[in-house]
Amino acid sequence: MRVHRLMTHAALVALLALGLLGAVPRTAGARAQSGETSYTNEEYGWSLEWDGDVWATFTPNSAASDLALRNVGATGRSALYFVSTDAWGTPADCVDGRQEEIEAEAGVEDVARVEEAPSGDDAEAAGAVFSLTYTNPNQADAQPVERINDVTCLSLVPDEAVLSVTHITGADAYADEAEAVDDLVAGITFAEGEVAATEPADDEATETPEDDEATEPAGDKATGTPEGDGTSADEEPSADEATETAEAEEDAPETPDSSGDVPDPEEGVEGNTYTSPTYGFTLEWDEDIWELDLENPRVPGRDTLVLTSVSFSGYVYVEAYEDFDGDPADCLEGSSAEITDDDIVDDVAPFEDENGDPVEGEEDGVVFAAYTLTSGNDEAAAYFDCQTLVEGEAVLAFSLLAAVDDAEVAFDALADLRAALDLSTVGETGGDASETPEGDDATATPEDEETETPEAGDLAGVDGAAYESPTFGYTLEWDDEIWTVESATSEDDSDTLVLASENSVVTIAAYAGFDGDAAACVEAVEDEITDRDGVSDVTILEDDDGDPIAEGDEEYSYVYYGYTLDDGNDSENLYEYVECSSFGDDETVLQISQVAPLQGSEQELDDLDDLLETFEFGDQGPVLWAGDVQAG
């Protein structure tokens, strides 16, 4: 039994449930970048400095706050969101508005204003501490937990704009962390150089609800639904700030096992026309209906055009890629599942026409289906279609998401867009349509070499859902409903197997290195992660007591690294679990790593546990499985 991993679930759960990825109103001004220890708002001129040993920036899913900080010292159980907004003119209105947002959040009950803070002129500053009970609506077995939202609002432009600062943490951690938060907020300065007109709240006077249970993990990332001026979906259970607008760029289909470079949003675009860089087809759009969307994330390895409507609430993805053996029916199933199977999506049902018949079928080689769904409090209509682009190889997929009230006009607009599609030029590009663009892999082999996904016959050591290391002889098996083989190589006395699940990638490699020292192997991974493109804020995650989640010696070692990965269009908080074992020959190590989103990672860790329990070794196996080390 791999005791250490089971023990660290509680620590990871605590990290995930603090609102480190949340939804807050869209703002003006440049955002703080990862790794910085100061921030100045370009529009309103306020600024802040912080201790990098205590606070670190992170990127909320909604990408809406000016600045988001999490506590990386002590218990590390606080998140702060700084938002410059003209949604409210006065600090008092800001506090009332925040309370309305908290009360409207799905899963939130028993909201109470337990303290007014800070003291001072309400024209310059106002604040309040809110207690609440939260039950994750997207988790079947979720238990109610007690949380605190401490809201401070400061005037930026009298009667016009405010700075809202929201401190989110578990009720049991609030008293311990309030002082550090108050000290930070008190250091805000404005363009004139004045310190924020507020005194730290008297945290000793604050009574918070008792909380004897561990905080529940945050749910999966929400699928945003375009709602014009309505409220957005409840994107993260631990951040109670509801967005004012559900922008199309909040969420888009993602495929974990796609490979290649993230496409440039403007590649192939000229004016209001698009030419697929890989496949050569062209598409033209009406600028009175559509505009190019530069913000929505793209899936690596796909030619992608994203358009947002300027005449109704909705957006469309046009994607061409090699998959499904070019079969449109399989493509439709996979493409629609990227949205309808999202954990935040509920009440998926066939979209019916005016006669009550489902909108689905096939016409001229294009298979299509439409659905209604809900995400949080939002109702949306989704339409998907697919067709063969390259026989036996590639598909062309259209995916539309629109406010349900705009469904009819959205479907008509998509029909007109599709009518402007010209496939007569497919194949007239300089690239080979059968080749997948190369790109950086989220994980690396011990020698940091990229490996292409091989054909089935090239999977060294793989036999169905089982593997035997060609060089070292160890074996393992996996559930093929959870894991797929990305690659398996054996060369120069180095064996590497890469498996992918829906949300994680696992690399298992045995090789000569570090003189067989497991601790040196684990330490080297931190430098390798730091050197990856787009990676920042690499740190060793900590448990509830503030202790690093790491252990071991030269025979066996493990560590949980956390970091932010920015691919140029979006950023994500990830963890990388790494363990190394010595073969005891002063030469060889076995290195195992798992990369997955930091949010909602418990299932991925369980899947890894189940996978590694199937390992079998001969007499020369690593010491962990020889019984010489009692980990954890």
The pLDDT tens digits of the residues spanning 467-508 come to 999 988 889 999 988 999 989 999 888 899 999 998 899 999
pLDDT category at 620 given cuts 50, 70, 90 is low
Say if residue 21 is in the same domain as residue 74.
Answer: yes
Q: CA 328 to CA 1: how far, in whole Å?
A: 45
Percent of the chain with pLDDT over 90: 31
pLDDT at 175 over 90: no
Of the candidates 369, 346, 371, 317, which has an alpha carbon nearest to the alpha carbon of residue 233?
A: 346
Same domain? For 375 and 270 the reply is: yes
CA distance 248 to 232: 10
Alpha-carbon gap, residue 163 to 86, rounded angstroms? 9
> Comparing 62 with 299, which gets the higher pLDDT?
299
CA 294 – CA 511 distance, rounded (Å): 43
Mean pLDDT of the chain: 74
230 pLDDT higher than 80: no
Cβ neighbors of 356 (< 8 A, separation 6 or more) are: none
Is residue 545 a part of any domain in this protein?
yes
The pTM for the full model equals 0.36
Is a pLDDT exceeding 60 seen at residue 249? no
What's the pLDDT at 64? 60
Report whether pLDDT(374) > 80: yes
- Nearest C-alpha neighbor of 401 from the set 247, 549, 257, 512: 247
Residue 551 CB contacts under 8 Å (≥ 6 apart), including other chains:
4, 557, 558, 559, 631, 632
Helix or strand (DSSP H, E) at 398: strand 394-403
Which of 190-204, 323-337, 467-481, 515-529 is least confident?
A: 190-204
Give me the mean pLDDT over the 31-53 stretch.
76
Quote the pLDDT of residue 191.
75
SS3 261: coil
* pLDDT value of position 422: 93
Token pair for residue 85? 């907004």
Does residue 379 sit within a domain? yes
Per-residue confidence (pLDDT) for residue 423, from 0 to 100: 92
409 & 467 share domain: no
Q: Report the DSSP beta bridge partners of residue 388.
A: 395
**Beta strands in 441-483, from DSSP E residues, in sequence order:** 462-463, 466-468, 475-477
- Residue predicted with more confidence, 450 or 220: 450
Whether residue 154 contacts residue 188, with contact meaning beta carbons closer than 8 Å, is answered with yes
**Are residues 369 and 464 located together in one domain of the fold?**
no
The one-letter amino acid code at 554 reads E
Among the candidates 156, 176, 205, a domain finishes at 205
For residue 222, the 8-state DSSP code is P
**pLDDT given at position 586:** 81
CB distance 251 to 221 below 8 Å:
yes
Note whether 191 and 79 are same-domain residues: yes
Instruction: Report the C-alpha dihedral over residues 133, 136, 140, 143, rounded to 10 degrees.
Output: -30
Is 213 contained in some domain? no
pLDDT at 605: 84
pLDDT at 441 over 50: no
Residues 441-451 have a mean pLDDT of 38
Q: Is the pLDDT of residue 366 over 90?
A: yes
Is 99 exposed, middle or buried, given 0-12, 13-18 or 19+ CB atoms closer than 10 A?
Answer: middle
pLDDT band at 433 (very low <50, low <70, confident <90, very high): very low
pLDDT score for 615: 84
Tell me which amino acid residue 205 is: A
Tell me the HSE value of 1 on the side-chain side, using a 13 A CA sphere: 5
Which of 284-293, 341-350, 489-498 has the highest mean predicted lDDT (pLDDT)? 284-293
Output the pLDDT for position 549.
Answer: 87
Within 13 Å, how many C-alpha atoms sit on residue 318's CB side? 28
Helices 3-16 & 602-612 angle (0-180, nearest 10): 170
Shared domain for 527 and 579, answered yes or no, is yes
The separation between CA 198 and the C-alpha centre of its own chain, rounded to angstroms, equals 35
> What's the pLDDT at 345?
76
In this prediction, residues 270-280 reach a mean pLDDT of 94
- Residue at 279 is within a domain: yes
Torsion over CA: 153, 155, 157, 163 (sign): negative
Q: Report the C-alpha gap between 454 and 337 in whole angstroms.
A: 26
Together in a domain, 379 and 270:
yes
- 493 versus 30: which is more confidently predicted? 493
Tokens (6 digits) for 592 = 């195992």
Helix (H) or strand (E) holding 489: strand 484-491
- Nearest-5° Cα angle at 610, 607 to 613: 150
Same domain, 461 and 405: no
- Between 392 and 134, the more confident residue is 392
Q: How many domains does the chain have?
A: 3
Check residue 535 and report its DSSP letter.
E
Bond prior to 118 in cis (omega within 30° of 0): yes
Query: By C-alpha distance, which of 406, 423, 407 is closest to 366?
Result: 423
Same domain, 75 and 171: yes
CATH of the domain at 619: 3.40.1000.10
Same structural domain for residues 284 and 352? yes
Q: 514 phi and psi, to 5 degrees? A: 60, 20
d(CA 167, CA 173): 12
Look up residue 11 and give its two tokens. Answer: 């620590």
Q: Is the model's pLDDT at 610 over the cut of 80?
A: yes
**Residue 322 three-state SS:** strand
Does residue 27 lie in a domain region? yes
Q: Sign of the C-alpha dihedral, residues 73, 74, 79, 85?
A: negative
**Of 248-252, 371-375, 392-396, which range is least confident?**
248-252
At 247 the three-state DSSP class reads coil
Distance CA 280, CA 301 (A): 15
pLDDT in tens, 569-609: 677 888 899 998 888 778 888 999 999 888 766 788 888 88
Q: Looking at the domain assignment, is residue 311 inside a domain? A: yes
pLDDT score of 530 more than 80? yes
**Structure confidence at residue 600 (pLDDT):** 60
HSE (CB half, 13 Å, CA atoms) of 376?
27
pLDDT of amino acid 618: 61
How many beta carbons lie within 10 A of that of residue 303, not counting itself? Answer: 27
Q: Specify the pLDDT at position 376.
A: 58
Angle at 509 between CA 506 and CA 515, to 5 degrees: 135
Q: Which two tokens stand for residue 256?
A: 């974990």
Q: What is the pLDDT of residue 429?
A: 54
**Percent above pLDDT 70 for the chain:** 70
Which of helix, strand or coil describes residue 18?
coil
Q: Are residues 70 and 177 in the same domain?
A: yes
**Cα separation, 520 vs 586, whole angstroms:** 12
Question: Comparing 40-54, 493-507, 541-555, which segment has the lowest mean pLDDT?
Answer: 541-555
**97: nearest Cα among 45, 149, 34:** 149
The size of the chain, in residues, is: 632
Q: Name the band, by pLDDT with cuts 50, 70 and 90, for residue 318.
A: very high
Q: For residue 631, tell me if it sits in a domain.
A: no
Whether residue 338 is contained in a domain is answered as: yes
Residue 537 domain boundaries: 456-626
Q: Give the span between the Cα atoms of 485 and 471, in whole angstroms.
A: 19
Q: Give yes or no: residues 24 and 154 share one domain.
A: yes
- Asked whether the predicted pLDDT for residue 516 surpasses 70, the reply is yes
Q: Assess whether pLDDT exceeds 90 at residue 280.
A: yes
Q: Looking at the predicted structure, is the pLDDT value of residue 17 above 90?
A: no
* CA triple 447-449-455, angle to 5 deg: 130
